[in-house]
């Protein structure tokens, strides 16, 4: 298992990833969990909360 060092696109933190994974990660586990939580609640967003 060859590990690869990458940088998170959100927080710029360094994290390790298996280079043989089919889909390469762009975000660390913490940022990925936050993004997933926000995506799961996307149906609760109203048009007043959105920017132009």
**% residues pLDDT > 90 (the chain):** 46
SS (H, E, C) the chain: CCEEEEECCCCCCEEEEECCCCCCCCCCHHHHHHHHHHHHCHHHCCCCCCCC
Query: Where exactly are the structural domains of the chain?
Result: 3-44
Instruction: Provide the β-strand partners of residue 14.
Output: 7
Name the pTM for this structure: 0.66
C-alpha angle 34-37-39 in degrees, rounded to nearest 5: 110
pLDDT band at 52; cut points 50, 70, 90: low
pLDDT of residue 22: 87
């Amino acid at each position: 298992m060859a590990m690869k060092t990458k940088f998170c696109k959100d927080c710029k933190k360094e994290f390790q990833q298996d280079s043989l994974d089919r889909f390469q990660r762009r975000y660390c586990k913490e940022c990925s969990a936050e993004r997933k939580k926000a995506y799961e609640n996307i149906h609760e967003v109203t048009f007043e909360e959105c920017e132009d």
